[in-house]
Structures are given as C-alpha cells and as structure tokens.
Chains A and B, each alone.
Chain A
C-alpha cells in the first residue's frame, strides 16, 4: 500500500509539474514574443531616428559652414571686382572697407590685405603690423596664385595665431594680384563647437592632411584610421553624410558621422558614445526588462500555487472515489460471503438434524428390554446424548451464520445496535479465545434504534473488534464494549488494553491506505471505510489512545428520531 501511495504522489507531482509548465508556456510564449517584437521594432526605429537626426545635424552644419565660407569669399570678391587694385592699394581706403565689413558682419574679418604677384603685401588693414609683409614662400600664396578663389586651411602664419585666409585673384596690367582676408578663428570655431549632443557628442573638422581645423571641446586625438575605414562602409543614416556605428581603438562603441565640405578638402567628424546616444533607449529597455521579469515571476508563482491547489483538489476527489470504490468492493465481498455462508448453513442443517434424530432413535431403542441388560448401556446412552448435544451446537453455529448472512443487506433500516454487537461478539468469541482476550459488554437496556444498513454497521463494528483483537494478539487482554444513550445519540465505546497507538499515527489512522500492519496483512482501508460509513450516517468516530494502556474507539450515531438526511438538508 505504501508503494501505491508513493506511485500516487509521483503521479500528482508529475501532474503539478505539467500544469505549471503548461500555464507558464501559454503565458510566457505570447508575452516574450510580443514584447520581443515590440522591443526589437522600437529599438530599430529609435536607432534609425538617432542616426538620421545625427546625420542631418552634421549635414546641416557642414552646409552652414560651406555657405559661411562662400559668403566670406563672395564679400572679398565683391570688393576686388568693384574697386580694383588701385583703389584697394590705398591703405586708408582698405581700412574703410574693413570697417564696413566689420560693421556688417561683426568681427569675422580680422584684416584685409592686397598682395602683388611677387608676394609683397602692398596694402594692409588690420590689427597686426603686417604692412609690406612678403608672402612669396607662404603655402597659401602659392595655392592662391593658382586659382581665382582660394580658402586656406587653418595655419599659424606670421602672426602666430590660428587663422585662415580667404583670397581672390585678379589681374591688373597683365599681372595677378590678390585680395586676401583673414577670418577670425574664434568666430569660425564657434560654428563647429556649437554642435554638441548629450554628454559625449561633439564635432570637429579635419583637413586632407588630417590636421584639426577646429578646436574640439574635448582634447582628442583624431582616430584617422577609423574615419578612413568608416567612410567606405555603408551609411546607416540618410543624406550625403556617413553614419556608422563602430568600436573605437579602446573597444568602446561609438557613433561616427562624417561629412565633407569645402570641395572635399575638409572632413567634418561628429562622434558620440553609443551608450550616451541611446541612454533613453537603454533606460526604456531596462524598465521593460524589469516589468517582464516581475511579470514572469508573478506568472510563475501563480502557476505553481494554482497547479498545487488544483492537483490537491484532484487528489482529494481521487482518494474519495477510491475509498468509495473500496467500500463498494468490501460491501460486495461481505454480501457474497454471507450468501455462501447461508447456503452452506442450509445444506448442513438437514444432515445434522437427521444425525441427531438417528441418535435419538438409538436412544429410543436402548429403552427396550433386550438392551437393558447390556453391560455398556450407560456408555451408549452417554454417547447418544453427546451426539445430540454436539448436533445442537452445530445447529446454533449455523443459526448464527444465517442470521449474520441475512443482514448483509445495504438497505437502510432500523438497527438495534445491542443485538448487532451481541451477534458480533459471539462470532468473534473463537478468535478472542485464541488471542486470550476476554470480551465484556455493558449494553444499555432499551437502546433506541439507529437508522442505517445492517451490513455496513456490522462491518464497522466487526472491523473495530478485529482491530482490537489484532492489537492484543501478542499479550492477550480485555475488550470492553459499551453502549449508551446520550440525548438523541447512541454512543458505542470499544476499549482495549492493547499497546496503544503512537501520537503520530493517531492523526492518520482514518486515512485510506494507512496501516502499521506488515505488508500483505492489512489493506489500510478498514478504518477509512468505517469512517466513511459513520460519516455517511451523520455520525462521528473518534479515537483516543495512551501508549501501554490501550485504545478507545468511540462511535456516535444519531438515533432514528433525527435521521442523517435531516442534518444535511
């Protein structure tokens, strides 16, 4: 039986596990799928938005700078073309022009100068002492002489300050001359420096020789190799700029945006740490993950609790069903045993009766004269009497069996418990003698009827008596059965002097399959069936035990006056 119990508990564990898994699967699968898809889409579109935004930012700024440079060039060109070499060679006139420009555009133009084909600055207006300066060897001069319009890279030059030159070449009397203006570095630099996004996003400009043309907010070493590699990769954003996400030399993930200006002579680079650019996204992701984890945890706990509760209920129903089945089987067994016994009793009755009568006939004949003188007459008479006595005993036994069998009837009727217990005690007398147990009864007179099935009640009390006898089998003892009337209940007590039941077993004693008897001896069902029958009748069964002293089972049944059905309604 213990094995069966173990198998059952394994089954229920497996059932619980399956239910938990199924609940979790059907809850998690859509949850993870939906949140995964949504998160992926969100992430993708968010990233796209960031890339596009940065791309546009850089492109716009590059265009701004380009147009800034073009504008300055146009201003100088206008001067050169409008006034010509002669007018502009007049330093006071040149100073007036510079003042006009500075009035119109602010301190963007630092100075103006007119340089002849030999590189001599013939006129100069500005804060530095650069009159008659010779630029023949200067890079910008060489370059400027080659084209009509020229904008130089940033350089230190004669004044020792970072600046760059905007120059226009023109002709005067068959020779080139140049009008050049210096653009204020600070004004220009602010155009680029203004680009800053988040905590780590900034921009700068490099020339073809990879020299910084602007001063970045943060001191950096331009990652030239990275830029050169990246401009070959496909862009993530839209427009003419390259937007690439890549790791820098230290392995940090960064977004690089690279645009070109000044006819591809200058390269504008914007870079920002990915973690900074996507900090909002990361936070949203973290929050979502937290919600998912908490949700999953909630589902898991719910699944486990729900499954355990449901399986517990199923187990209860199962065990009740099983107990009921066992009851039906037991009752059926009892009925068929009863029928068998009744048949045998009937069959035996007749031959026994004949034997007794034949013995009586011998007794009759012994009365006649011819036998009176027989020396063994008294022995004969004694033998005949003995046959009669034993025959009568047989008859009593069969009568007991018959009245027992007659009552294997599950119909509800009025039962006199005193009679029922009396019969059971007689039936158990033989067993009790073997077990050296004396059975005493103290039955209250005029005990009211109880409503129930004879056979079921027989089963209950036979079980209790048998259990008591089992318990006292080793040592012998006494069993006292008492009946009492208490109000509208009948109380039956069976007290034995057996070894008693340990506290731990006492609680489980009415559980199905609980047994302390060796394997194969007990089903563990007896008391649970008793319990079921008594409960069904609206009664109660209790047990009290003290180790070494004995055990008392108390059965309380409602009398006929208040039938059990009345209680349930």
Chain B
C-alpha cells in the first residue's frame, strides 16, 4: 500500500462535509491515522456551523447533499473564509457542476467515490500551494 508521510508535526485540520455517514466515518478514521485531524459534518448546515467555531487548513465538500446544494455551501465557505482551499467531490458525470465550483473559487475536484490515496494527494497539493 502506498503510504504518504506527514511532512509537518502539527496535524492538518480538515473539514469533511458529506451526508453519506459511513463514508465520512471511515474517511475520518483513515485520515486521522495519517495525521490529518478530521471534523465531520453530515450536512451543509453542519459544515457552516463547524466553520464558525474553528479554522481549517482545508475543506472537502460533497456537491450532492440532501439539505443544500453543494455549490451554495461552497459560496458561503468562500465568503466566510476565502483563503481556505476547498476540494469538491462530485458524482461521475457531473463534471459540469465541478467546473462551476472551480469558477467559484474551489481548489479542485475529485469524482466520487474517491480513494483515500487520491484524496490525500489532493490535500497535500492544496497545502503545498498555500504554504
């Protein structure tokens, strides 16, 4: 298994917004093991609330959620913390929405279901780009 080493002592703070609970749970477990501290949000509202309380290094946002359109959430994120990079997750075949997201200021997108390795790689790209 390909293994990514954390180059920083302090864990990265990540906000994961997705309404698929099983996916959020397992991802947070696996990311934690790789020294990324995950705050779980199971809806757009939860994500916005979480963002009010703390700062995050990066946010991962599912574009297709039941309560709110992902793109709306993205807009709010971008108003609240414009400097925070956002990685979008889209369904296969919904690249149109992803492109719209990038226009709105998202960092990049991954098609769902994404694999851990892809996600970690993307996360470090954002960090590299910022620091």
Contacts and interface: CB of A to CB of B under 8 A. Distances in A.
Interface string A334-373: 0000000010011001111110111011011000000000
Interface residues of B, number: 17
A364 B36 CA distance: 14
A365 B127 CA distance: 27
A395 B110 CA distance: 14
A345 B114 CA distance: 15
Contact of B1 (A354, A363, A395, A405): A363
B23 interface: yes
Interface stretch (B26-34, B40-48, B50-58): B26-34
Nearest to A403: B93
Contact of B92 (A352, A358, A364, A402): A402
Given A342-B93, A398-B92, A358 B26 contact: yes
B93 A353 contact: no
Interface string B46-75: 000000000000000000000000000000
A167 to B, nearest CB: 140
A354 B23 CA distance: 5
A323 interface: no
A406 interface: yes
A349 B92 contact: yes
B22 interface: yes
Q: Which of A350, A351, A357, A361 has the most CB of B within 10 A?
A: A357
Contacts of A342: 93
A360 B26 CA distance: 9
Contact of B26 (A349, A361, A399): A361
Contacts of B116: 357, 360
Given A349-B113, A364-B33, A357 B93 contact: no
Contacts of A358: 26
A350 to B, nearest CB: 5
A361 B29 CA distance: 8
B91 to A, nearest CB: 6
A363 B1 CA distance: 8
B23 A357 contact: yes
Contact of B30 (A352, A357, A403, A405): A357
- Ranked nearest first, the 3 interchain pairs of A and B with the lowest CB-CB distance are A353-B113, A354-B22, A357-B26
23 contacts: A342-B93, A345-B92, A346-B91, A349-B91, A349-B92, A350-B23, A350-B112, A351-B22, A353-B23, A354-B22, A354-B26, A357-B23, A357-B115, A358-B26, A361-B29, A361-B30, A364-B30, A402-B92, A402-B93, A403-B92, A403-B93, A405-B93, A406-B93
